[in-house]
Amino acid sequence: MSSQKPLNVGLVGYGFMGRTHSNAYGKVNQFFDLDRRPVLKAVCGRNESNVKAFAERWGYQSTETDWRNLLSRSDIDLVDIATPNDSHAEIAIAAAKAGKMVMCEKPLGRNPTEATRMVAAIESAGTPNMVWYNYRRVPAVMLGKQIVDEGRLGKIFHYRAKFLQDWTISKDLPQGGAGLWRLDANVSGSGVTGDLLAHCIDTAMWLNGPIQSVTGVTETFVMERHHNLTGKVERVTIDDASAFLARFDNGALATFEATRYARGHKALYTLEINGENASIFWDLHDLHRLHYFDHRDEGRLRGWRSLHVTDGDHPYMKHWWVPGLQIGYEHTFIHQVADFLEGLRTGRPAAPTFRDALATDLVTDAVLRSATSGRWETVGRG
Amino acid sequence: MSSQKPLNVGLVGYGFMGRTHSNAYGKVNQFFDLDRRPVLKAVCGRNESNVKAFAERWGYQSTETDWRNLLSRSDIDLVDIATPNDSHAEIAIAAAKAGKMVMCEKPLGRNPTEATRMVAAIESAGTPNMVWYNYRRVPAVMLGKQIVDEGRLGKIFHYRAKFLQDWTISKDLPQGGAGLWRLDANVSGSGVTGDLLAHCIDTAMWLNGPIQSVTGVTETFVMERHHNLTGKVERVTIDDASAFLARFDNGALATFEATRYARGHKALYTLEINGENASIFWDLHDLHRLHYFDHRDEGRLRGWRSLHVTDGDHPYMKHWWVPGLQIGYEHTFIHQVADFLEGLRTGRPAAPTFRDALATDLVTDAVLRSATSGRWETVGRG
Amino acid sequence: MSSQKPLNVGLVGYGFMGRTHSNAYGKVNQFFDLDRRPVLKAVCGRNESNVKAFAERWGYQSTETDWRNLLSRSDIDLVDIATPNDSHAEIAIAAAKAGKMVMCEKPLGRNPTEATRMVAAIESAGTPNMVWYNYRRVPAVMLGKQIVDEGRLGKIFHYRAKFLQDWTISKDLPQGGAGLWRLDANVSGSGVTGDLLAHCIDTAMWLNGPIQSVTGVTETFVMERHHNLTGKVERVTIDDASAFLARFDNGALATFEATRYARGHKALYTLEINGENASIFWDLHDLHRLHYFDHRDEGRLRGWRSLHVTDGDHPYMKHWWVPGLQIGYEHTFIHQVADFLEGLRTGRPAAPTFRDALATDLVTDAVLRSATSGRWETVGRG
Amino acid sequence: MSSQKPLNVGLVGYGFMGRTHSNAYGKVNQFFDLDRRPVLKAVCGRNESNVKAFAERWGYQSTETDWRNLLSRSDIDLVDIATPNDSHAEIAIAAAKAGKMVMCEKPLGRNPTEATRMVAAIESAGTPNMVWYNYRRVPAVMLGKQIVDEGRLGKIFHYRAKFLQDWTISKDLPQGGAGLWRLDANVSGSGVTGDLLAHCIDTAMWLNGPIQSVTGVTETFVMERHHNLTGKVERVTIDDASAFLARFDNGALATFEATRYARGHKALYTLEINGENASIFWDLHDLHRLHYFDHRDEGRLRGWRSLHVTDGDHPYMKHWWVPGLQIGYEHTFIHQVADFLEGLRTGRPAAPTFRDALATDLVTDAVLRSATSGRWETVGRG
């Protein structure tokens, strides 16, 4: 019935991120005019009844309980990895070798070694690939990118980002297992550094270029927690908080911070860039607003402009409703799928690719090394 | 394949509101656990190729070009009216007589006469019915309703609402036809009074009870516009701006205002209630925040609380993502469908019904009468 | 020792307003370069020991217990009236007849009859005069005036002002006597209409020209209070809340509201003007910010600008500190004295004069008349 | 005439800070009930005509052109140092030796060596002393201190402060001489580290206890500027920007940043503390608001409270106007004088003393050392 060429999707993982991805595949053709249409061929998960229920809810045509089965299915074009971090490398490398396109949740690997192997595999396969750093595709953030690319800021002096949450303050919160694997470093690789800071770093390098060197510090405020899988109180292996100073290649000085101990903040991802001529500021809690200051405005009438990024000439917004009416978190994933499909059409791959995401892993690695060494560490180049 | 009992939907109209409704029917079962599932049986519109394209995009199983055909189809349970205001009454009354459930875009009629006939028809048919005053179902607004219902505000002194836009300031904007029928009083009934003020009034009476009397004023700033259907410059028949003072049955004093000439505001619907003990304030431009002031807080630490209504214990939010992550405009329609379906299950109809919406039409009518008479006008009771 | 010519001041009243005026006289020459210097010759009040304590604290050279004595003193140039409203007319008229300059607290009279007699007396005397509508001289408000006068807004469509307080909600608050005479209509003339709305109206007509007609409503939420002077529970004679709709001569539509029953607001005076090309908004609670929207800004980068009015090229601010550093409420009075003294030098009297303030009394009178008649009332012209 | 015992003040320096101090001495007894009254005995500056003009404007009884003369005058109780940083140590030590009370502008010395000698001298003399870290006495900041001292925050996890300005971005701005000595490290000691960061550090240790160790970075974006005193283009010796990570003794992790290259910010001093139970945030640009989040509030109604710190039960505010009405920057100095005088009366010296200010110099020193070493540096203890 549809006029678009299908793109057959096999999703691995059906947790929180499985929902955001499934929603994106289902909505993208209703709001964007594209020549491809994602078709939800299969979803894979280890618990058969759960995965079947998920498939029914989201309209997947089949289910699998072993992701390896997806690789041999000729009706799967794209393998989408929405599993915990410890399986990203294995699945992605195998999928690449099987000639599949691969989309992978962030961070790419648990460490640069894994991520480097993933980049090698996908580039060797030559198949389209992308990593779900979704915040690039908030309309207000994308408008910030346009402002930067148009050179409106002038020479950049400062970059400032933080991602503050407060959901792990209670000592009674356990670690491990479904929903809580992010607190177990064996699974996640690291704590807020690879989880929240990775988002900040991805956006930062996209907006302001490579980070040269960092000095960082991490902290674990709650040292022991009940572990859901072992059933015992175990040492917490992740970092609860992480902060670092950085220098970018372009000379800008930066501060970064992420924590899950910032009482009162649920998901306060903020970023600010100060340039010679203009500055921008954004805040995930009020995601439709970009704050823009332009020093070239007439002096008496100069001030931070609160841009409500909902107009037809704002990024992505002509696809949605009318000025003043907002979209939300889930739409960033829809935009990402739209851009990925458009990249397939034009042959200009949408970012961030695996290679782009490796660069982020190299920064988080330098931060963690610095937190141990107490010195500035140079960021590796992939 | 699905375990829920189908609810077969026939949609009339495929413009802006047709999209919001279609999206709601498609998403509701992915995010809410319900015993009914809307099935998109048919969409109806006069232009055959347009309606077919719409059907393909949104997954409707069939199309019609005459809405009367829907009424005789036994596979249609619910007729959803998303057409311009001048056809609401005819379609709704016929659908009711055909024994269909009816959902209708707001305002219910172009005037109380139409609306009264619609109420009579639907109540005579005894079928479930609802009007799409969607803003009640913004999570922050619904939280406001809970606060009111819990008696936290105490005796109410003041209600204050406005809905400010700026999209019709240009004299070059034409009137009439697709997208611009709101500027033609023959089609719309009135200008901002029935369009924007109606939203303010619906929420106001839901939160604060009946409005007793009003004194109002309307204004038309641009007196002539090119008419898209006649091809001629014609007198503008709608009100561009409308404001009124009101007394509620509960003694509260109120100010209301709506305009499309408030430069700088895209869709600034704000509401505020001041009670003896506490107050609330909400603003559509930042729709996830409810501002709450409670005088019973300890004196030195008393202040307006900015509630970021995204937690699992906030209205509707457990169905979406995690704290801090936002939803948008379209979700209010999804919530409305969820509540409608839940109302079918429980037998307690979700509001606003046709009768509730008639009450709003009676207030807008009193405002328009007062704008002519220059006096306070008593609001009719339906 | 001083190089400036003295301006000898005799102050009547030493309450809250006596303090703000005294502070202004004392500070003005330290921050402004002027050719006149206020000298605090005398302060007058009925309670001798209180007035002496006040004189010592503020540096007045002498005290009086009968204001009539000031009029015959040749060492008094200016009589400054900071008493409750019921003595404004008598003192001002006598001072004018005695050939004194007169500054008077607002509102000018308790009603247009008193105010008209005061204007006649001062204009007959031909002496400099001014009324303390201090909010005109908040730097951000004065910047708004500059923006209006430069024609940046274009044709004005809407004016919107409110002044919300919450300090009289408790039924236990008495009326009458020191600090509470504003709740006694015999003394004050009216409640919030003459107190808070008068401020809104003064600024409105200064910014947007004459008000033509109004329809208003008033309310008294607490009907009886203990009276401090009679010692009995007495009927409350003032309006606790007041709201009106208005049309300006320039065609703009307006809403005004004042109340002391808006829980959560201490002194929320806000004003907004929407013009064809631009809009401004201001809020006394954050008095240094003027919000400015200019539609001529490039589309994608258009937004409300938050002007932190603290730069050297902002009104009054070069006399104070450095950009970013704020001044407060009391400074509006200092600015008013500076402008008054500068008006003496140039011969171009600073506004608002008695005649300007009469115009405000004529609007409040029309509001009160309309609240009784239930109709639109034409505003008298002085 | 006055009933208070005089405190005879000799001020050294009549620039920006000379004005803020003089204003404070003149106003304090009009708003605070104290048993001492500052008497402006003498002001000292090198340019005789300028200092005489200053004396006339501010009411100083005499002038001096050599500060040493103040020390021998028996009519001077207190020497107040408002000169550039390079003369703080010499004047303060001599004044202490002469038995004078000493108030000194911040930072105390240009480095810990100077500051240590100053502390030794004043403690040896045993005379009252204070340093003008004025921001402690913003009412909202002092309310934050009360909240901390009452234990409302619980265990502290994070401290976050920054002080952002943008006034030195232009390459054409010269360095050196009046008003620009802050850009000349010989005079100032350092750039933003000793100027802006010092404020952040003083407040931080007052609120959150000693800082243990830091890792920092500094940057000079404009390397050469015309020097006003030499008339030549010279190397810029100060740091334009400075950032550091820190650990407090109490285990909290911190980020600090100061710059004069943050386009769009005039004096954006912000601070935030996140505790186990509650958090506070403050911003100098809107200095009357303290933002307070308390996790113990009922879940659904939990949010950041915007406290408009203008009530009678808020710190200092009962001395000023009425709720809702603001004070400004200059009032922090008035509060400091009031507290100093009250400390004289009670014998409990008001902070920060010279010893407190030395602690801040030891932190800035560690930051500058770390910026050179690239390592974490332990903060010296005075």
Q: CB–CB of A266 and B323 under 8 A?
A: yes
Please give the pLDDT value at position D93.
Answer: 98
Residue-wise pLDDT for D187-214, tens only, equals 999 999 999 999 999 999 999 999 999 9
Q: Is A347 exposed, middle or buried (0-12, 13-18, 19+ CB in 10 A)?
A: exposed
Q: Report the amino acid identity of residue C356.
A: D
pLDDT per position as a tens digit, D301-328 = 999 999 999 999 999 999 999 999 999 9
Residues of chain D contacting residue A275, judged by C-beta atoms under 8 Å apart: 263
Q: How far is CA B286 from CA A20, A288, B267, C119, C286, in A?
A: 23, 8, 10, 48, 20
Give the separation between CA D179 and CA A342, rounded to whole angstroms: 57
Q: How far is CA A367 from CA A119, A203, C112, in A?
A: 21, 16, 73
Give the separation between CA A187 and CA A88, rounded to whole angstroms. 10
Which chain B residue is nearest to residue D297, measuring alpha carbons? Answer: B297
Closest residue in chain C to residue A297, using alpha carbons only: C297
Transcribe D239-276 into DSSP letters.
Answer: -SEEEEEEEETTS-EEEEEEES--TT-SSEEEEEEEES
CA-to-CA distance for D198 and D193, rounded, in angstroms? 6
Does B277 touch chain D if contact means CB atoms closer than 8 Å?
Answer: no
CB contacts < 8 Å between C and D, how many? 92
Distance from CA of B19 to the nearest CA of A (A): 9
User: What is the rounded distance in angstroms from the CA atom of residue D101 to the CA atom of residue D77?
Assistant: 6
**From B263, B265, B304, residue closest to C275, measured CB to CB:** B263
Q: How far is D317 from chain B (nearest CA, A)?
A: 11
Say whether residue A317 is in contact with chain C using an 8 A CB cutoff.
Answer: no
Q: So what's the pLDDT on residue D2? A: 59
Query: CA dist B203 to B155, B159, B197, Å?
Result: 18, 11, 10
Mean pLDDT of chain D: 97
Task: Detail the DSSP E strand segments found in chain B.
Answer: 5-12, 36-44, 62-64, 78-81, 101-104, 129-131, 156-164, 211-219, 224-226, 233-235, 241-248, 253-259, 268-275, 278-283, 289-294, 304-308, 377-378
Task: Provide the pLDDT confidence category of residue D178 given band limits of 50, 70 and 90.
Answer: confident
CA-derived radius of gyration, chain B: 21
Q: Is D243 an interface residue toward A (CB < 8 Å)?
A: yes
Residue C264's alpha-carbon distances to A120, C68, D160, in angstroms, are 61, 43, 29
According to DSSP, the residues that pair with D279 across neighbouring strands are D274, D293
Q: Give C2's contacts in chain D (Cβ within 8 Å).
A: 56
User: Does C374 have pLDDT greater than 80?
Assistant: yes
Residue D11 near residue D18 (C-beta atoms within 8 A): yes
Task: State pLDDT tens for residues C73-88.
Answer: 999 999 999 999 999 9
Output the pLDDT for position D3: 78
Read off φ and ψ for residue A34, nearest 5 degrees: -135, 160
User: Residue C226: CA atoms inside 13 Å, Cβ hemisphere, count?
Assistant: 7
Three-state SS annotation for chain A: CCCCEEEEEEEECCCHHHHHHHHHHHHHHHHCCCCEEEEEEEEECCCHHHHHHHHHHHCCCEEECCHHHHHHCCCCCEEEECCCHHHHHHHHHHHHHCCCEEEECCCCCCCHHHHHHHHHHHHHHCCCEEECCHHHHCHHHHHHHHHHHCCCCCCEEEEEEEEECCCCCCCCCCECCCCCHHHCHHHHCCCHHHHHHHHHHHHHHHHHCCEEEEEEEEECCCCEEEECCCCCEEECCCCCEEEEEEEECCCCEEEEEEECCCCCCCCEEEEEEEECCEEEEEEHHHCCEEEEEECCCCHHHCCEEEEECCCCCCCCHHHCCCCCCCCCCCHHHHHHHHHHHHHHHHCCCCCCCHHHHHHHHHHHHHHHHHHHHCECEECCCC
Residue of B288, B301, B304, B318 to mutate, testing the D interface (most D Cβ within 10 Å of its Cβ): B301
Can you give the pLDDT at residue D217?
98
Can you give the pLDDT at residue A88? 98
Distance of CA C43 to the CA centre of its chain: 21
Provide the pLDDT confidence category of residue A2 given band limits of 50, 70 and 90.
Answer: low
- Cα C38 to chain centroid distance, Å, stands at 21
The verdict on a CB contact (< 8 Å) between A245 and D275 is no
Q: Which residue has the tokens 């007169």?
A: C102
Chain B residue closest in CA terms to A24: B27
| pLDDT score of C1 more than 60 | no
- Would you place residue D1 in the very low, low, confident or very high pLDDT band (cuts 50, 70, 90)? very low
B345 token code pair: 């299950």
Average pLDDT score over chain B: 97
Four-point Cα dihedral B368, B371, B372, B377, nearest 10 = 70
Higher pLDDT, A213 or B178: A213
Which residue, D271, D255, D247, D318, is CA-closest to D147? D271
Cβ–Cβ gap D285/C324 under 8 Å: yes
Kindly indicate the confidence band of residue C281, based on its pLDDT and cuts at 50, 70 and 90.
very high
Query: What is the mean predicted confidence (pLDDT) over A192-203?
Result: 97
CA distance A359 to chain B (A): 26
Q: Would you place residue C178 in the very low, low, confident or very high pLDDT band (cuts 50, 70, 90)?
A: confident
Kindly report, residue by residue over B73-92, the tens digit of the pLDDT: 999 999 999 999 999 999 99
Residue A2 exposed, middle or buried by CB count within 10 Å (0-12, 13-18, 19+):
exposed
pLDDT (0 to 100) of residue B178: 81
Average pLDDT on A263-273 reads 98
Q: How confident is the model at residue B1 (pLDDT cuts 50, 70, 90)?
A: very low
For residue C380, what are the CA distances in angstroms to B211, C113, C358, D326?
Answer: 32, 12, 10, 35
pLDDT of residue C3: 78
Q: Which residues of chain B lie closer than 8 angstroms to A286, CB-CB?
A: 286, 288-289
**Does A268 contact chain D (CB < 8 Å)?**
no
Summarize pLDDT for B99-130 with one digit per residue, the tens. Answer: 999 999 999 999 999 999 999 999 999 999 99
- C177 falls in which pLDDT band (50, 70, 90)? confident
Tell me how far apart the alpha carbons of residues C22 and C133 are, in angstroms, rounded to a whole number: 16
Chain B residues within 8 A of C301 when measuring between CB atoms = none
pLDDT confidence tier of residue C44, bands split at 50, 70 and 90: very high
Instruction: Please write the tens of the pLDDT for every residue from C19-39.
Output: 999 999 999 999 999 999 999
Q: Does D305 touch chain A (CB under 8 A)?
A: no
Interatomic CA distance for residues C319 and C351, integer angstroms:
20
How far does C290 lie from chain A, in Å, by closest CA?
9
| Both tokens assigned to B151 | 């008696």
CB C115 within 8 A of CB C357: yes
Best of A200, A211, A263 to substitute, by most chain D Cβ atoms within 10 angstroms, is A263
Distance CA(C170)–CA(C234), nearest Å, equals 16
Q: Which residue of D has its CA nearest to A299?
A: D264
Decide: D5 and D37 in contact? Cβ < 8 Å: yes
CA–CA min distance D33, chain A (Å): 39
Task: Report CA dihedral (C269, C274, C280, C286) to the nearest 10 degrees.
Answer: 30
d(CA D26, CA A132): 62
Cα–Cα distance measured from residue A296 to residue A300, given in angstroms and rounded to the nearest whole number: 11
Whether chain D has a CB inside 8 Å of the CB on C266: the answer is yes
CB contact residues (below 8 A), chain D span 29-68, against chain C: 29-30, 56-58
Q: What is the pLDDT of residues B197-250, one digit of tens each?
A: 999 999 999 999 999 999 999 999 999 999 999 999 999 999 999 999 999 999
Which chain D residue is nearest to residue B313, measuring alpha carbons? D300
- Cα dihedral A272, A274, A275, A277, rounded to 10, equals 100
Confidence category of residue D329, pLDDT binned at 50, 70, 90: very high
At D23, the amino acid letter reads N
Cβ neighbors of A152 (< 8 A, separation 6 or more) are: A275, A277, A278, A294
Would you call C29 and D57 a contact, using CB atoms and an 8 Å cutoff?
yes
Phi, psi (degrees; rounded to nearest 5) at A307? -85, 120
Interchain pair B313, D304: CB under 8 A: no
Asked whether the CA dihedral A148, A328, A34, A81 is positive or negative, the reply is: positive
Task: Dump pLDDT digits (tens) for D77-115.
Answer: 999 999 999 999 999 999 999 999 999 999 999 999 999
Other Cβ atoms less than 10 A from the Cβ of C364: the count is 28
Nearest to D305 among B143, B305, B311 (CB): B305
Calpha distance A268→A255 (Å, rounded): 15
Which helix (H) or strand (E) element contains residue C206? helix C198-208
Q: What span, in angstroms and rounded, lies between the C-alpha atoms of C156 and C214?
A: 18
Q: Tell me the chain A residues in contact with residue D221 when contact means C-beta distances shorter than 8 Å.
A: 157, 251
Residue C2 has pLDDT above 80, yes or no: no
- One-letter amino acid at A18 equals G
